[in-house]
């Protein structure tokens, strides 16, 4: 309403009204990159280089980076759900305890019911264990969501209660005993030499990922062309797709460079019935299964957050709950669904971390809620609600894990590690606050 | 379909002056509406109505109950008692979605925009366009937004920016675009020009005249009589939750309407309501 032209008839017509492409003013503007995301990648790079220097070159090794990827997986999976929770102006303090109880239930269910029914290493055991865990996690989350949305108890209190309740429940499931996992297929979710896909499959995954990146770019461009919208310059598209593919190729080179020690490789090859040449054999780990699970979760959650009605409603509610309600959105149902989703993701996190330990313990996931929240917040999720990205949170999980892993390599004692992590968390949020004030 | 005698509690004052010489059924009839919040009667036995192509101004001080009354029509609140008829038929409006189904669109005083998403997301909030795959069709929504904004505010360019980054006038035009894009039959505008400059206010007035010519009924809520007197066909004045009276703007002066707002005094040209002072 800011010029003298009189508004004409408001009845919609089918005339397209695309404005001509405006000339991009800067490099970043033309590429349409999220500056904050770029900043986080820069921060991660700095952390890695500094640790590599301080830990005498032990940080930037394929072995350490591979381990880092596996160690980050469980928190990264859960952080994707925490983004939606925090975007809706809520919090979930119970994810560590949900992880504990669902991990315990999965281990007991597998050992006591599924294995006797289906037999040793039957494929159904893994599928049903995972399905049961996810269903229970979702049910616990839905219960929290119900109390929060329909009974009006603040999420902080409900999930604080949940933290105590489900930690206690984890103990009650097996009276505090540690339950070993019995199914070898399920253990693949934890990574390790068996739980990795090897060099060839890693390259296949990389090729598919690169094709998908290129396809998505072409598809988006075609959509905008359909309505004669302003387009990014072609060189910008090529640079972005190229950067994405380079990142995929670099990651693949790293995970493939991590190989089994020669003695183990020989034993492994012989067990697999391969003939071992006299000069020895090189067996690459490749991508670990939990990392692929985390990446798949990240892609699905990004899709949910940005491409679906549900995701749009989550962000709209976070931006202005009253406006969302007035727009006819069933905010209570969306709230309940977000917490159910968070519970399901905690169960996937439980599958990864129990499989990694080969057993479910009573204390599993203790303090994970704090790491998950920290990952989301470091990843740019605003505690005021309405802002956050899935990719940012996963990167945040990687930052947190990098700090811990780096300090382990530097032989820093655990209490001092916590001091550093705590300071970094506050510092990161302060930087973000400054950024938001300056650049809106 | 005359429903004026259907509710025993209502007095003859509920019959709108002039309703007889506008042919046809009222677009909206709100009869004997009451709502209380913890003992406070925010709206107390209020009856108003609206004919097609008519602008009815709802006037009163802040806290008089005007916004609460129209929030009942918009589905944001549910009335304790009273009934609403749309085109002469009983309507049940339990939530904003129901109201939209009856063709009732509302521009709230607060604009009710989600500040963190862009204009298209706000325009289609709750009514998103989907692709054949069931995913959000952002491109189609942006195209429709460009089209409607092209008419309301041709200089508008910030289609990719969260509406937080827009000026007051731009935000207002997004809220108006949302209300008129879905072929509203009944438009509620709560203080539509409160945040606007003189030029923008004139544009809104122009828009109201066009919408009126298309047969859309408009409730215009304001605490300032000067904003709306020239646009309105009738005024209904509320004070302390009660209806002071309803008058055709041609039958009363601005000063008389001011008297209704401030003193609750119903002038000879108006039909007094339950809230009219007796002296």
B59 found inside a domain:
yes
Which residues make Cβ contacts (< 8 Å) with residue A73, sequence separation at least 6?
A: A191, A288, A290, A291, A293, A294, A352
Give the CATH number, domain containing residue B239. 3.40.50.300
A190/A180 Cα distance (integer angstroms):
13
Report residue B108: phi and psi, to 5°. Answer: -80, 155
Structure tokens at A101: 């109880």
Looking at the fold, whether B198 and B65 belong to one and the same domain comes out as: yes
pLDDT of residue B2: 43
Crossing angle of helices A309-319 and A62-87, rounded to 10°: 70
Residue A222 C-alpha, separation from nearest chain B C-alpha, in angstroms: 10
Chain A within 8 Å of B190 (Cβ-Cβ)?
Answer: no
Pairwise CB contact (< 8 Å): B152 & A1: yes
Cβ of A254: how many Cβ atoms within 10 Å?
A: 16
Report residue B273: phi and psi, to 5°. Answer: -110, -175
Pairwise CB contact (< 8 Å): B180 & A325: no
B277 found inside a domain:
no
Which of residues B160, B178, B196 is at a domain's end? B178
pLDDT of residue B196: 78
Pairwise CB contact (< 8 Å): B117 & A312: yes
Chain A residues with beta carbon closer than 8 angstroms to that of B214 = 9, 11
Looking at the fold, whether B170 and B191 belong to one and the same domain comes out as: no
Which of residues B178, B201, B220 is at a domain's end? B178
Residue B130 C-alpha, separation from nearest chain A C-alpha, in angstroms: 9
DSSP strand pairing (B234-239 vs B242-248): antiparallel
B158: nearest CA partner in chain A: A19
Chain B 145-184, CB below 8 Å of chain A: which residues?
Answer: 146-148, 150-155, 157, 164-165, 167, 169-170, 172-173, 180-181, 183
Chain B residues with beta carbon closer than 8 angstroms to that of A316 = 114, 116-117, 121, 125
Cβ of A247: how many Cβ atoms within 10 Å?
A: 14
pLDDT of residue A261: 85
**Which pTM was predicted?**
0.88
Looking at the fold, whether B172 and B189 belong to one and the same domain comes out as: no
Structure tokens at A387: 């802002």
pLDDT in tens, chain A (440 residues): 344 333 333 333 333 443 434 444 566 666 677 788 888 899 999 999 999 999 999 999 999 999 999 999 999 999 999 999 999 999 999 999 999 999 999 999 999 999 999 988 899 999 999 999 999 999 999 999 999 999 999 999 999 999 999 999 999 998 989 999 999 999 999 998 789 999 999 999 999 999 999 999 998 898 888 888 888 888 989 999 999 999 999 999 999 999 988 888 888 888 877 777 777 788 899 999 999 999 999 999 999 999 999 999 999 999 999 999 999 999 999 999 999 999 999 999 999 999 999 999 999 999 999 999 999 999 989 888 899 999 999 999 999 999 999 999 999 998 998 898 889 889 888 887 887 777 65
Residue A18 C-alpha, separation from nearest chain B C-alpha, in angstroms: 7
A329/A334 Cα distance (integer angstroms):
8
Chain A within 8 Å of B196 (Cβ-Cβ)?
Answer: yes
B74/A162 Cα distance (integer angstroms):
38
Q: Number of CB pairs < 8 Å for A and B?
A: 147
pLDDT of residue A377: 92
Chain B residues with beta carbon closer than 8 angstroms to that of A29 = none
Structure tokens at B154: 């041709």
pLDDT of residue A10: 39
Q: Which of A310, A309, A331, A311 is nearest to A320 (CA)?
A: A331
B2 found inside a domain:
no
Chain A residues with beta carbon closer than 8 angstroms to that of B143 = 16-18, 227, 229
Of residues B73 and A430, the one with the higher pLDDT is: B73
DSSP reduced 3-state for B195: coil
Which of residues B178, B193, B209 is at a domain's end? B178
Pairwise CB contact (< 8 Å): A18 & B146: yes
Pairwise CB contact (< 8 Å): A323 & B170: no
Give yes or no for a contact between A141 and A127, defined as CB atoms under 8 angstroms apart: no
Best residue in A3, A6, A10, A229 for a mutation probing chain B (most B CBs within 10 Å): A10
User: What string of DSSP letters covers A399-430?
Assistant: HHHHHHHHHHHTT--HHHHHHHHHHHHHHHHH
A6: nearest CA partner in chain B: B203
Q: Which of B212, B262, B251, B240 is nearest to B69 (CA)?
A: B240
Looking at the fold, whether B197 and B242 belong to one and the same domain comes out as: yes
Looking at the fold, whether B196 and B266 belong to one and the same domain comes out as: yes
B59/B36 Cα distance (integer angstroms):
20
Element (H, E) at A232: none
Looking at the fold, whether B27 and B158 belong to one and the same domain comes out as: no
Structure tokens at B217: 């009924």
Looking at the fold, whether B173 and B200 belong to one and the same domain comes out as: no
Chain A residues with beta carbon closer than 8 angstroms to that of B203 = 1, 6-7
Residue B224 C-alpha, separation from nearest chain A C-alpha, in angstroms: 21
Looking at the fold, whether B200 and B239 belong to one and the same domain comes out as: yes
The mean per-residue pLDDT over the stretch B156-182 comes to 89
Give yes or no for a contact between B50 and B26, defined as CB atoms under 8 angstroms apart: yes
Looking at the fold, whether B139 and B236 belong to one and the same domain comes out as: no
Looking at the fold, whether B74 and B146 belong to one and the same domain comes out as: no
B125: nearest CA partner in chain A: A327
DSSP reduced 3-state for B242: strand
pLDDT of residue A440: 52
pLDDT of residue A180: 93
Looking at the fold, whether B50 and B161 belong to one and the same domain comes out as: no
Pairwise CB contact (< 8 Å): A315 & B211: no
A174/B92 Cα distance (integer angstroms):
53
Total count of residues recorded for chain A: 440
Residue B98 clears pLDDT 50, i.e. is over it: yes
Give yes or no for a contact between B248 and B17, defined as CB atoms under 8 angstroms apart: yes
pLDDT band for position B17 (cuts 50, 70, 90):
very low
Our separate counts of H helices and E strands in chain B read 8, 11
Pairwise CB contact (< 8 Å): B113 & A320: yes
Q: Look at chain B and report how many structural domains it folds into.
A: 2
DSSP strand pairing (B104-107 vs B186-190): parallel
Q: Which of A1, A178, A324 is nearest to B115 (CA)?
A: A324
SS (H, E, C) A317-361: HHHCHHHHHHCCCCHHHHHHHHHHHHHHHHHHHHHHHHHHHCEEC
Question: Does residue A57 come out as left (phi exceeding 0), alpha (psi in the -120 to 50 range) or beta?
Answer: left
Percent of chain B topping pLDDT 90: 51
pLDDT of residue A147: 98
Measure CB to CB from residue A326 to each of B96, B116, B183 and give the nearest one. B96
pLDDT of residue A193: 79
B7 found inside a domain:
no
Q: Which of A400, A414, A398, A393 is nearest to A86 (CA)?
A: A393
Looking at the fold, whether B57 and B194 belong to one and the same domain comes out as: yes
Structure tokens at A79: 């952080």
Q: Which neighbouring-strand residues pair with B35?
A: B43
Domains of chain A and CATH, by start: 31-191+297-439 (1.10.3470), 197-287 (no CATH)
Count Cβ atoms within 10 A of the Cβ of residue A52 and give its class: 0-12 exposed, 13-18 middle, 19 or more buried: middle
B48/B75 Cα distance (integer angstroms):
16
B57 found inside a domain:
yes
B4 found inside a domain:
no
Residue B87 clears pLDDT 70, i.e. is over it: yes
B51 found inside a domain:
yes
Pairwise CB contact (< 8 Å): B151 & A8: yes
pLDDT of residue A12: 39
Cβ of A392: how many Cβ atoms within 10 Å?
A: 23
Domain span holding position B222: 15-103+184-272
Chain A residues with beta carbon closer than 8 angstroms to that of B181 = 10, 12
Degrees (nearest 5) of the Cα angle A144, A150, A154? 60
B10 found inside a domain:
no
């Amino acid at each position: 309403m800011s010029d003298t032209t009189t508004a004409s008839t408001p009845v919609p017509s089918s005339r397209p009204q695309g404005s001509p492409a405006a000339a991009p003013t800067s490099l970043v503007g033309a590429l349409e990159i999220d500056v904050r995301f770029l900043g986080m990648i820069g921060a991660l790079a700095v952390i890695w280089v500094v640790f590599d220097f301080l830990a005498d070159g032990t940080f930037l090794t394929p072995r350490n980076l591979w381990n880092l990827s596996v160690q980050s997986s469980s928190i990264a999976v859960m952080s994707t759900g925490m983004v939606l929770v925090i975007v809706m102006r809520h919090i979930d303090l119970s994810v560590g305890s949900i992880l504990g109880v669902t991990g315990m239930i999965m281990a007991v269910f597998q050992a006591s019911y599924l294995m006797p029914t289906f037999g040793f290493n039957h494929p159904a055991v893994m599928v049903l264990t995972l399905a049961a865990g996810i269903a229970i996690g979702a049910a616990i989350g839905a219960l929290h969501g119900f109390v929060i949305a329909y009974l009006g108890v603040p999420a902080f209190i409900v999930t604080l209660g949940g933290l105590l309740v489900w930690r206690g429940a984890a103990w009650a499931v097996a009276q505090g005993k540690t339950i070993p996992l019995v199914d070898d297929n399920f253990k693949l979710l934890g990574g390790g030499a068996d739980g990795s896909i090897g060099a060839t499959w890693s390259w296949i995954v990389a090729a598919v990922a690169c094709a998908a990146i290129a396809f998505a770019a072409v598809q988006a461009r075609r959509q905008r062309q359909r309505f004669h919208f302003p387009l990014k310059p072609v060189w910008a598209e090529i640079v972005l797709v190229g950067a994405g593919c380079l990142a995929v190729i670099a990651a693949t080179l790293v995970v493939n460079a991590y190989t089994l020690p020669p003695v183990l490789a020989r034993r492994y090859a012989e067990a697999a019935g391969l003939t071992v040449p006299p000069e020895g054999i090189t067996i690459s780990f490749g991508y670990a299964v939990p990392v692929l699970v985390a990446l798949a979760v990240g892609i699905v959650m990004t899709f949910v957050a940005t491409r679906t009605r549900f995701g749009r409603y989550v962000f709209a509610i976070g931006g202005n709950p009253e406006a969302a309600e007035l727009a006819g959105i069933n905010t209570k149902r969306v709230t309940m669904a977000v917490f159910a989703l968070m519970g399901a993701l905690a169960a996937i996190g439980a599958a990864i971390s129990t499989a990694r330990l080969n057993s479910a313990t009573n204390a599993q996931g203790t303090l994970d809620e704090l790491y998950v929240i920290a990952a989301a917040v470091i990843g740019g999720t605003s505690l005021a609600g309405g802002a956050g990205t899935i990719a940012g949170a996963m990167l945040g999980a990687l930052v947190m894990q990098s700090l811990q892993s780096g300090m382990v390599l530097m032989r820093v004692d655990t209490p001092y590690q916590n001091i550093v992590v705590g300071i970094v968390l506050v510092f990161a949020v302060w930087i973000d606050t400054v950024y938001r004030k300056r650049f809106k | 379909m005359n429903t004026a005698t259907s509710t025993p509690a209502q007095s003859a004052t509920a019959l709108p002056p002039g309703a007889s010489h506008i042919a046809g059924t009222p677009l909206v009839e709100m009869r004997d509406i009451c709502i209380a919040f913890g003992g406070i009667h925010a709206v107390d036995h209020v009856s108003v109505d609206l004919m097609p192509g008519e602008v009815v101004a709802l006037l009163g001080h802040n806290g008089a109950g005007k916004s609460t009354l129209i929030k009942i029509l918009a589905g944001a609140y549910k009335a304790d008692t009273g009934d609403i008829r749309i085109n002469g038929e009983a309507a049940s409006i339990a939530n904003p979605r129901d109201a939209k189904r009856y063709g009732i669109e509302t521009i709230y005083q607060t604009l009710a925009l989600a500040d963190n998403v862009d204009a298209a997301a706000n325009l289609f909030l709750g009514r998103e366009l989907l692709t054949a795959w069931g995913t959000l069709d952002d491109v189609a929504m942006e195209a429709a937004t460009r089209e409607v904004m092209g008419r309301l505010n041709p200089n508008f360019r910030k289609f990719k920016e969260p509406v937080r980054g827009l000026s007051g006038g731009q935000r207002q035009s997004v809220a108006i675009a949302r209300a008129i894009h879905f072929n509203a039959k009944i438009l509620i505008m709560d203080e539509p020009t409160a945040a606007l400059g003189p030029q923008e206010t004139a544009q809104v007035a122009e828009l109201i005249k066009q919408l009126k010519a298309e047969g859309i009924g408009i409730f215009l809520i304001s605490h300032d009589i000067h904003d709306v007197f020239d646009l309105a066909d009738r005024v209904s004045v509320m004070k302390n939750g009660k209806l002071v009276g309803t008058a055709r703007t041609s039958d009363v002066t601005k000063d008389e309407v001011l008297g209704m707002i401030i003193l609750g005094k119903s002038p000879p040209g108006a039909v007094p309501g339950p809230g009219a002072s007796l002296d």
